[in-house]
Amino acid sequence: MSSSNTAPSVKPPMRDALVAAAFRLFLERGYEQTTVDDIVTLAGVGRRSFFRYFPSKEDVVFPDHEGCLADMTGFLAASAPECEPVRRVCDAARLVLRMYAENPTFSVQRYRLTRRVPGLRAYELSVVWRYERALAEYLRGRYAGRPDGTLRADVVAAAVVAAHNNALRSWLRSDGEGDAAATVDHALGYVQTAFGAEAAPGAAGGTPAALFGGPTGHPDDVVVLVSRRDAPLWRVVQEIEAAFGRG
């Protein structure tokens, strides 16, 4: 794993030069029309130098994802047991946003390139899949032993990635204008609202609520719920759904 998403000053200069040469050519000639030979000629290095840093031409388009995946895996592995898991994977997703936001011009250029080249789109899908799996694996560990633990982990990971990418694409389409972090925070907040408080460790167990009003009845009926404030929210919602006949 490279250390490519640390500060630019510590990146290997030759690696940076190859990325810069590649993008200059991709933008001038098109991605398909640019060969690795063209890139190394412009960068003034040999072919072997290229392949020391990048397994293929596609990889030079996404030079920082391996480093970001390594950072994300490390971040999740270092989680304290008392972390709320959904909040933690949202924070992990913010590492990806940070990588994009560090260099808006490059990120916007790449976004446009990726939309035009089907092969790059496929490559990007595989990268997104790897981020999603990293989040899901962490959540599977945290939800181990819970009913539907892997289901919950997979769904939450997918929802976090979809929310992050919705916000990221919106920022990229705006040519990197606006506050990327605020846009992503808002999107991740939506996912946390849907799933976030379910798994708070140490939340009180047991049935949270006394419910007056059964699962069937007239729409105009009144439902009364009485609950301790520290009851797990997901249980409260389950009870309410049952009472509203929508579970």
Q: Is 230 in the site for its own copies (CB under 8 A)?
A: yes
Q: Show contacts with its own copies in window 103-132 (CB under 8 A).
A: 121-122, 125-126, 129
Question: Residue 180: how many CB atoms within 10 A of its CB?
Answer: 21
User: DSSP code of 209?
Assistant: E
Q: Which is nearer to its own copies, 45 or 223 (CB)?
A: 223
Q: Nearest approach, Cβ of 56 to its own copies (angstroms)?
A: 13
Q: Name which position in 161, 168, 172, 199 contacts its own copies (CB under 8 A).
A: 161
Q: Which is nearer to its own copies, 8 or 245 (CB)?
A: 245
Q: Which two tokens stand for residue 139?
A: 């959540």
Q: Name which position in 150, 173, 174, 175 contacts its own copies (CB under 8 A).
A: 150
Q: Nearest approach, Cβ of 141 to its own copies (angstroms)?
A: 16
Q: Nearest approach, Cβ of 71 to its own copies (angstroms)?
A: 23
Q: Is 181 in the site for its own copies (CB under 8 A)?
A: no
Q: Nearest approach, Cβ of 65 to its own copies (angstroms)?
A: 15
Rounded CA-CA distance 12/19 in Å is 11
Q: Is 201 in the site for its own copies (CB under 8 A)?
A: no
Q: Residue 4 contacts by C-beta under 8 Å, 6 or more apart in sequence?
A: 11, 15, 63, 64, 66, 67
Rounded CA-CA distance 69/135 in Å is 10
Q: Which is nearer to its own copies, 21 or 157 (CB)?
A: 157
Q: Nearest approach, Cβ of 23 to its own copies (angstroms)?
A: 23
178: left (phi over 0), alpha (psi -120 to 50) or beta: left
Q: Nearest approach, Cβ of 80 to its own copies (angstroms)?
A: 19
Q: Which is nearer to its own copies, 3 or 193 (CB)?
A: 193
Contacts 24+ apart (CB under 8 A), 127-134: 127/62, 127/65, 127/69, 128/161, 128/165, 130/69, 131/69, 131/72, 131/93, 131/96, 131/161, 132/157, 132/158, 132/161, 133/157, 134/69, 134/72, 134/73, 134/76, 134/92
Per CB under 8 A, which region of 20-28, 49-57, 150-158, 173-181 contacts its own copies? 150-158
Rounded CA-CA distance 160/200 in Å is 17
What is the three-class DSSP state of 90? helix
Binding residues for its own copies (CB under 8 A): 121-122, 125-126, 129, 148, 150-152, 154-155, 157-159, 161-163, 165-167, 170, 186-187, 190-191, 193-197, 213, 217-231, 233, 236-238, 240-241, 243-247
